[in-house]
Homo-oligomer: A and B are copies of this chain.
Amino acid sequence: MCGIFGVSGIENAAQLTYLGLYALQHRGQESAGIVSVSDGIAYQHRGMGLVEDVVDPESLARLPGSVSVGHTRYSTAGSSEVANAQPAMVNYHSGPLSLAHNGNLTNSHTLRKDLEKEGSIFQSSSDSEVIVHLIARSDARDPDDQIVDALERIEGAYSLIITVGNTLYAIVDPRGFRPLVLGKLGDGIVVGSETCALDIVGAEPFRELQPGEWVKIEDGKLTEMPRLARKPAQRCVFELVYFSRPDSVIFGQSVERVRRELGRQLAIEHPAVGADCVFSVPDSSNAMALGFAAESGITPEHGLIRNHYVGRTFIDPGQSNRVNKVKIKFNPVRHVVEGKKVVVIDDSLVRGTTSQALIKMIRQAGAAEIHLRIASPPITGSCYYGIDTPDKELLIGAQKTVPEIEEHLAVDSLGYLSLDGMLKAAGNDPSHYCHACFSGDYPIPCEEEAKEQAAQTAARRTITV
């Protein structure tokens, strides 16, 4: 997954991008980068790690200009190396071009093969570099048309921010998998993956790009571009369930409100009658726990405390059997759980390994009964549209039945929210959501190569260390 951010028409644009990336850090912690443009010259800074590790005052000072693009990345295609950090930046016949991509292309393997045949050279194993080549290879003279040429050839999920010279483009694919929101700040315009990134710089959100919409922004002035070929909307429901920040509004929905409603639906579908208290696995499930409590009448509590200072902790292998790694991040509150029948709310179950460790800790702290409630359906398949779900064999919801999971996690009961319940809570027309990872309804087929080899194939040939 990735977070993208752009600025047009505001001095020291890179400073705003830096703040915007801070607010989007939850969307990707592997690498970060900023491009700025001043007088038609593009400047780039990127590196591995968190925004605070990559960007410092010195690097910001070397990123002048009133146009800027930023990116935080958690790899979905392409290996973990600085060559894959975005924004990408190149020179081509129409000037310097930079590109930040959130999503995943489903036909990048074929396109890459074709481009290589025509003599293109690739610096990275990222699918995003394909888009850059397609733009540069277009016969069109105008960047607008070059971009259309490229977009007509790519398939899959993409929210893009592109600069060509001083012009900035914000683009959402025809199905609209990933969010992209526009905000106004003084005479300029700010674009970001979520509204929380507009909030941090004080920009006023004024429009969300709908599926297939794209705009051109020159010096803070917005031009509407002709909509891309219409396809059925496929907003990613997992953005609401887990990925986005609760203070954001995306797909027209308050994430916090949706999550509270998910908790409420969960309480309706899987009440835990007679329980003493309900609490979340902080922080992503906090709103769901409050919703569950409100609907069920069970007392809300804080039964697990999260240590927010946890960073790059390392554990001596010689100690690792003694130390519970999950304990470094979470600790139960004994007085809350001891002797109690507790309801634990989590947003989703992926591998189940963290949950297993948490349940064990809660049990050791003295809980009498543990009822696990998951505010989304079982995850049964990988995502090909930009979220890094593990392979099917590693997904507990794909491998085990509910009774098996109850046993595996050692909970007294387990309840998953239904697909309908989730979509109901998500607001909007249910048909406008992609829920492939839960339902198996994949709206776009994905090349086998892209599936299996996405990262591997491409990455296999060159690695920057």
Contacts and interface: CB of A to CB of B under 8 A. Distances in A.
Contact of A462 (B60, B89, B302, B315): B89
A62 B465 contact: yes
A290 B302 contact: yes
B299 A91 contact: no
Contacts of A322: 202
A133 interface: yes
A302 B323 contact: no
Interface residues of A, number: 100
Contact of A328 (B22, B44, B96, B305): B22
B305 A22 contact: no
A256 B200 contact: no
A247 B299 contact: no
B313 A43 contact: no
A327 B432 CA distance: 33
A16 B319 contact: yes
A404 interface: no
A87 to B, nearest CB: 11
Contacts of A313: 19, 22, 52
Given A331-B200, A333-B256, A335-B254, A299 B294 contact: yes
A454 interface: no
A93 B324 CA distance: 41
B40 A461 contact: yes
Given A22-B307, A290-B300, A311-B50, A333 B246 contact: yes
A17 to B, nearest CB: 12
Contacts of A51: 309
A23 to B, nearest CB: 6
B463 A199 contact: no
A148 interface: no
Interface in A316-332: 316, 318-319, 322-324, 327-328, 331-332
Interface stretch (A116-124, A214-222, A339-347): A116-124
A137 B122 contact: no
A201 interface: yes
Contact of A44 (B283, B315, B465): B465
A223 interface: no
Interface in A163-202: 196, 199-202
A225 interface: no
Nearest to A200: B327
A313 B458 CA distance: 34
B302 A287 contact: yes
A124 to B, nearest CB: 9
Contact of A12 (B119, B307, B319, B331): B319
Contacts of A29: 309
Interface string A280-302: 00010011001001100001111
B92 A122 contact: yes
Given A90-B122, A91-B461, A336 B256 contact: yes
A95 B461 CA distance: 7
A328 B246 CA distance: 15
A407 to B, nearest CB: 25
> Would you list the 10 A-B pairs with minimal beta carbon distance, nearest first?
A254-B335, A119-B137, A25-B309, A247-B305, A90-B121, A93-B116, A52-B311, A62-B465, A91-B122, A96-B461
Interface of A: 11-12, 15-16, 19, 22-23, 25-26, 29, 40-45, 50-52, 56-57, 59-60, 62-63, 83, 89-93, 95-97, 116-117, 119-123, 125, 132-133, 136-138, 196, 199-202, 245-247, 249, 254, 256-257, 283, 286-287, 290, 293-294, 299-302, 305, 307-316, 318-319, 322-324, 327-328, 331-336, 458, 460-465
8 contacts: A41-B460, A42-B462, A52-B313, A90-B123, A91-B121, A97-B121, A200-B327, A247-B305
Given A42-B461, A95-B461, 20 more contacts: A11-B318, A15-B316, A15-B318, A19-B315, A40-B461, A43-B462, A44-B83, A44-B463, A44-B465, A51-B309, A60-B316, A62-B463, A92-B122, A93-B117, A119-B137, A119-B138, A245-B331, A254-B333, A254-B334, A283-B308
